[in-house]
Amino acid sequence: MTTVRPTVSHMTREARMVVRGSTVTHQFLRARLTLLVGLTLVVDAVGTALMYWFEGGARGSDFDDLGGALFWVTAQLTTVSSQMANPVTTPGRVLDILLDVWSISVVATAAGSFAAFFHARHLEGHAQPEQL
């Protein structure tokens, strides 16, 4: 049995295999990542609309327009922070917490998905030819 060293070309080939869905393992990872990205885009859009609705006219709020709300929600989902002031209304603060929980959950789910993928690929590499 030969040992495959993780070179850049090997990792690039694996990434292409995920995009193409070359094996069931690659298809599974692609499906999980596609679902995570799609649901996060939906959460971003709904969160933007809700945050603008909750904070749009509130005194002391920095959410003056829908674009600002989109920026803030997207920043919360990607970095769990932004330079804009935190929400001032109770519904806005609750939404902020929910967005933070979502973003942490997405990162954890993606990490678990990659770990399961790497484990499955490792087992596939060590399977006997008659087991494949």
Which residue in the block uniquely carries the two structure tokens 């993780």? Answer: 6
Confidence of residue 122 (pLDDT cuts 50, 70, 90): confident
Residues with Cβ within 8 Å of residue 96, at least 6 apart in sequence:
76, 86, 87
The dihedral of CA 2, 8, 13, 18: what is its sign? positive
Domains along the sequence of the chain with CATH: 28-127 (1.10.287.70)
Q: What is the pLDDT of residues 30-46, one digit of tens each?
A: 999 999 999 999 999 99
Q: Kindly report whether the global pTM for this prediction surpasses the value 0.95.
A: no
Tokens at 78, concatenated: 């990607």
Give the integer Cα–Cα distance in Å for 119 and 125.
10
Q: What is the pLDDT of residues 63-117, one digit of tens each?
A: 889 998 999 999 999 876 767 778 999 999 999 999 999 999 999 999 999 999 9
Confidence of residue 128 (pLDDT cuts 50, 70, 90): low
